[in-house]
Structure 1
Amino acid sequence: MTDSVPPPLPPEERATLPDGLRFAFGTLTVLPARITRWDRPAARTGMLCAPAAGLTVGLLAAATGTVLLFLGVGPLLAAVVTAAVPAALTRGLHLDGLADTADGLGSAKPAEAALRIMKQSDIGPFGVIAVVVGLLAQTAALFELFGESWLRGALAVTVAATAARLALTLASRSGVPAARPEGLGAAVAGVVPRGPALALAALVVLAAAAAALPLGPAGALRHAGAVLAALVVGELVLRRCVGRFGGVTGDVFGAVAETSATTALIVLTLGGPAAA
């Protein structure tokens, strides 16, 4: 008896890598990328390409902070500007999602009412607190890391941005429902098969460790652990939101990304300076 091989998907159910990259960069960054397809196959490939968008954002932020340091700017100002770069490259959408999700979770209202609160243009007290604490935590972590060396700071922001978008890939996996029938959440909810999502997660963890090898074995393990911790916290946020709202929305994706990035940066400050 031979194993049966599933037939290939018909062309209309597939999306090319360029389709996916345009989807990922067009939805997750402000970088020029004209989205040519807005359907489930393109969303599937696009969310698998999300870490590539995160890597690009992280590298641009790392380059900004590093250049400032070499120009003589202190680590605090370099950290402030570096933390602002990912926000600028996403039009602040992830921070806005974090704020809206915090307001929805803190409202103590039924799911439908909480979702209406999240759609409002204003930001409530829970949202303000979440954004302020998140940005302060990111800036403080980067200040500490840039203060130790430009390499530690540059690696940290790159790994954090990549891990944050990887968390979005996992949040788009099969079985995760959408809270609304429209919006980004509905477009990407459940589109990524679990197998490829987990394989991509393992690849990013290994890549983070390899990139940090110049910091020594302890540094490599720390960066791999930072990615894993970011994914765990992102998963906890995801599950809380799915349980509270009945599914995911674009705001929830923003909250997952921001909390994952912040977690990665905090973890990378633990244990003292890494060997350079």
Structure 2
Amino acid sequence: MNPTDSTADGAADRASAADGIRFAFGTLTVLPVRAARWDRAAARAGMPAAPLAGVVVGLCAAATGGLLLLAGSAPALAAVVSVAVPAVLTRGLHLDGLADTADGLGSGKPAGDALRIMKRSDIGPFGVITLVLMLLAQIAAVSELYGAGWADGAAGVVLAGVTARLALTFACRKGVRAARPDGLGAAVAGTVPVRVASALALLVTAAGAAAGARHGISGAVLHAAAVLGGLGAAELLLRHCVRRFGGVTGDVFGALAETAATVALVALTLG
């Protein structure tokens, strides 16, 4: 698909909210939601709905971890499962994107060569190290949150899931270009108006603050800071990838999601 297609980008071709939600869930999860459309118009309507997919994925992870805790599991085991659930619900695509992006960045090669490295099916040493450390950080953080109580762990897992997908929405804003003429990056890059991405960031931050308000003002501030910290870390990575690769790719989106989720979780443990 040509991302500059005038029909897809034209005002006469608009996707409905339902098309957008189906695009978000059909693209970002393995849930049985079939994307009715796969074009720029659907991406424009769908990527703002990405945080909604994060809510569903996060709730599934929190519910699974909660069931294990009720059955008498240790927080560490519940944390492992809660981290595994999002990987299963995305077919591991975000983790694969994280590893591929780490290999591309770590190669030190020009953009074209780095992009070819990222497209290979194998995972290099940079990818393996990054993947292991990121998963360990997520598990350690969720375990600590579960240790403080299921509600804290559940809130953290859901918040991380939403923040991860919010980072994807923000990375699809106008002005962010694709590194390749095809693939997911080309389909969604530059489709979300900046004002929409900013409004969603404020909405998710406010929702995070509301979730932490049960611990008072400090809890609200901590949860809001976790959202902003995850989004900020993803933004720094996004800018670096755009400089190195010339734009975004599907792999970069996976790396952004995992980075945002990890930073949000770690931030919650600091309070």
Is the aligned partner of 1:65 residue 2:65?
A: yes
* Aligned residues with identical type, % of pairs: 66
- Give 5+ residue unaligned stretches, structure 2: 1-8
Structure 1 residue 39: deviation in Å?
1.1
User: Which residue identity is paired with 2:95?
Assistant: L
Report whether the alignment pairs 1:203 with 2:203: yes
How far off is 1:10 after superposition? 7.2
- Report matched runs for 1:174-253 at 5 Å: 174-253=174-253
Partner of 2:201, secondary structure, is helix
Shift in Å at residue 215 of structure 1? 2.4
User: Residue 240 and residue 10 in structure 1: after superposition, are their counterparts in 2 closer, same or farther (change >3 A)?
Assistant: closer
| Equivalent position of 2:53 in the other structure | 53
Q: Tell me the distance in 1 between the aligned counterparts of 2:25 and 2:60.
A: 14
Q: CA offset at residue 259 of structure 1?
A: 0.4
Counterpart of 2:16?
A: 16
Instruction: Please give the per-residue CA displacement for 1:4-44, whole angstroms capped at 9, x wherever unaligned.
Output: xxxxx977421111100100001100001111111111101
CA apart distance, 1:145: 0.6
Deviation at 1:216, TM superposition (A): 2.1
- In the alignment, the residues of structure 1 paired with residue 215 and residue 58 of structure 2 have an alpha-carbon distance, to the nearest angstrom, of 18
| 1:120 to 2:120 alignment | yes
- Cα distance, 1:212 vs structure 2: 2.1
Deviations 1:189-229 (A, max 9, x none): 00000011101110110011112222222111111100000
Separation in 1, partners of 2:206, 2:109: 42
AA in 2 matched with 1:49? A
TM-score under structure 1 length normalisation: 0.94
Write the deviation string for residues 82-112 of structure 1: whole angstroms up to 9, x where unpaired: 1101101000000000000000000011100
Aligned partners of 2:136 and 2:42: how far apart in 1? 36
Bigger radius of gyration among the two: 1
Q: What SS is found at the alignment partner of 1:14?
A: coil
Further displaced range: 168-177 or 209-218: 209-218
Residues 1:10 and 1:121: Cα distance change in structure 2 (over 3 Å): closer
Matched, 1:93 2:90: no
After TM superposition, the score normalised by the length of structure 2 is 0.95
| Count of residues in Structure 1 that have an aligned counterpart in Structure 2 | 263
Q: For structure 1, list consecutive stretches of 5 or more residues without a partner in the other structure.
A: 1-8, 272-276
User: What is the letter of the counterpart of residue 128 of structure 1?
Assistant: V
Alignment correspondent of 1:80: 80
Could you list the runs of 4 or more consecutive aligned residues of structure 1 that deviate by over 6 angstroms after TM superposition?
none
Q: How does 1:95-174 map to 2 (within 5 A)?
A: 95-174=95-174
Aligned amino acid, residue 39 of structure 1: D
Question: 2: CA distance between counterparts of 1:214 and 1:86?
Answer: 26
